[in-house]
Amino acid sequence: MKFGERLKSFFSAKAELNEGVFDDLCDLLIEGDFGATQAYKMTEHLKECYKKDRALFPLQKLSELLEDELKKAKNIDTPLLSDTFTAILILGVNGVGKTTTAAKLSHFYNLQNKKTVLAAADTFRAAAIDQLKIHGQKLDTRVVAHKQGGDPAAVVYDALEAACSCSADVVIADTAGRMHTKSALVEELCKIDRVVESKAGSARYLKYLVLDATTGRNAFTQAEVFHSAVKLDGVILTKYDSSAKGGVVFSLASELQLPVVYLCTGEKYTDIEIFDPIKFAREFAGIN
Ligand SMILES: Nc1nc2c(ncn2[C@@H]2O[C@H](COP(=O)(O)OP(=O)(O)OP(=O)(O)O)[C@@H](O)[C@H]2O)c(=O)[nH]1
Ligand SMILES: [Mg+2]
């Protein structure tokens, strides 16, 4: 059951909105992957609003408060709205869906007449390069790759050169999964970041962190570590089609000012959409 449905049935089962209901709501929000402090603040705010206006529909008000939380994230243009050449680095821990998302983005931009080049900068995991090459073949998109064990920064460097020579609009670099708890891997990421930053020059350079929505609050910790290492531009939330609740999105916005840019809802190339904050807040609150 989607989280919004749970919230809806929670309220429809209540005869009156007393103190206990708001306490239970706080617990429910925490179950929906809200941080405890944020869930408490949100519930208190809702309670205050209700005291002033007993006629308010709590889910409608909750959805408005959630939208306000999402507005705390910075705004970010997608490459589709700009003619500036864009380099995108896809980051994240192991298995969250980075390679699949890199391919989905390539497909998404290609459909909008933006030429893409994929960079196989996961030189660490056996078969990662071939995995991206297969996507490249299916999508009829060029993949720049070196050998396994090579320098990932050099791969991105070459992909940027290749993109220049074939007049591509966007380079999408898939990187190796790295645990945020391993400092050596995070340091290696800083090096890749420095190389790409200097090579990108006047191009737009975006760093997107891929987060698996099913990992709940752990996704927030991952975002904190990656963001402090390389200053992220946005998040791509994957596996939202599974039993994911998604409350972590609100903490990303309010505590790290990080926007979710794309939402992925399946394994197909087409299972990606631009994140719509209003739609997300309404769905989370069970208002359709
Ligand atoms: N249901 C669902 N599955 C997804 C989604 N995105 C990716 N996957 C699946 O998640 C699994 C891992 O995807 P990958 O793209 O290989 O993940 P990765 O982050 O590149 O993994 P590593 O390179 O090993 O770190 C695959 O089975 C994908 O099909 C999504 O939005 N929904
Ligand atoms: Mg991968």
Ligand that lies nearest to the alpha carbon of residue 239, given by its number in the listed order: 1
**Cα three-residue angle 243-249-252, rounded to 5 degrees:** 145
The percent of residues above 70 in pLDDT, for the chain, comes to 98
**Mean per-residue pLDDT of the chain:** 91
Tell me, using a 6 A CB cutoff, whether residue 130 lines ligand 1. Answer: no
Q: Is the CB of 122 inside a 6 Å radius of any atom of ligand 1?
A: yes
At 110 the pLDDT is: 94
Residue 78 has pLDDT above 70, yes or no: no
2 pLDDT tier (thresholds 50, 70, 90): confident
Task: Provide the b/e sequence for 242-261 (b: ≥16 CB within 10 Å).
Answer: eebbbbbbbbbbbbbebbbb
Global pTM? 0.95
Q: Is the dihedral of CA 83, 89, 90, 91 positive or negative?
A: negative
- Confidence at residue 79, expressed as pLDDT on a 0 to 100 scale: 57
Q: Is the CB of 243 under 6 A from ligand 1?
A: no
Identify the pLDDT of residue 48: 92
CB–CB of 115/170 below 8 Å? yes
Distance 131 CA to ligand 1 centre (A): 11
Per-residue pLDDT reduced to its tens digit, 110-166: 999 999 999 999 999 879 999 999 999 999 999 999 999 999 999 999 999 999 999
Q: Of all atoms in ligand 1, which is nearest to the CA of residue 128?
A: 23
pLDDT in tens, 174-205: 999 988 777 777 888 898 999 999 988 888 99
The answer on pLDDT for 28 being more than 90 is yes
CA of 253 to the centre of ligand 1 (A): 24
Residue ranges of alpha helices (H) inside 147-217 are 152-165, 183-200
Q: Is the CB of 244 under 6 A from ligand 1?
A: no
Compute φ and ψ for 273, nearest 5 degrees: -140, 155
What is the tens place of the pLDDT at every residue in 228-277?
999 999 999 999 998 778 999 999 999 999 999 999 999 999 999 999 99
